Chain A
Amino acid sequence: GQQLNQSPQSMFIQEGEDVSMNCTSSSIFNTWLWYKQDPGEGPVLLIALYKAGELTSNGRLTAQFGITRKDSFLNISASIPSDVGIYFCAGYSSASKIIFGSGTRLSIRP
């Protein structure tokens, strides 16, 4: 079946560093969504992407819809402690088919 490969699985960064994570698939997607999940909470939508090549920002977050429609990346600039959490990508291959990546766990080194 369809799979989304999300990497890295986890990362430790220093406060103030930039962060980059991505999702790739062998399948084409029509929409990419990026979420953040804090412990004990539901995923919160960060950015939605609808067109190949689209680059969208939300504060310090920037995400892009890959030209091939098979990948997407999320960048976080100048990380702060509240950026800690699990980040998920999700892609729709059709209006009714969504699949989530396995998540990137972001931690900050004290």
Chain B
Amino acid sequence: DTAVSQTPKYLVTQMGNDKSIKCEQNLGHDTMYWYKQDSKKFLKIMFSYNNKELIINETVPNRFSPKSPDKAHLNLHINSLELGDSAVYFCASSQLAGGEQYFGPGTRLTVT
């Protein structure tokens, strides 16, 4: 059973398009996160939701909008994609804010 899953695994799209990445966790955790990992493997937190409420919103362009329909899901919608958005995006979850985080397998986004 996959604990944290993301779809799609790979996403190739053109500049200017709008795309979404979905994340689901079956761990019963209260907190979910989105991270961006660049080509140098640096992991940067983008957003965090606790019980469907936004608790962290780092300096991210407002083209990125997270949505949490329920505790088990956190989706990431990206408008007007740019070349610099190309990266691997990871979803993670933790029992509580400030706890051990468990990561999904990542979504590799390539913008051409």
Contact = CB atoms under 8 A, between A and B. Distances in A.
Interface residues of B, number: 23
Contact of B98 (A35, A96, A100): A96
Would you list the 7 A-B pairs with minimal beta carbon distance, nearest first? A95-B98, A42-B103, A100-B43, A95-B97, A48-B100, A43-B103, A42-B105
Interface of B: 4, 40-45, 48, 55-56, 90, 92, 96-106
Contacts of A33: 100-101
Interface in A21-39: 30-31, 33, 35, 37
Contacts of A73: none
A67 interface: no
Which size class do A's interface residues fall under? 20 to 34
A42 B43 contact: no
A86 interface: yes
A41 B100 contact: no
Contacts of B106: 40-42
Contacts of A80: none
A65 interface: no
A94 B98 contact: yes
A100 B42 CA distance: 8
Contact of B42 (A41, A44, A90, A102): A102
A37 B106 CA distance: 11
B39 to A, nearest CB: 13
B97 A45 contact: no
A1 B4 CA distance: 30
A94 B96 CA distance: 12
A88 B35 CA distance: 14
Contact of A98 (B40, B45, B102): B45
Contacts of A66: none
Nearest to B100: A48
A44 B43 contact: no
A45 B29 CA distance: 16
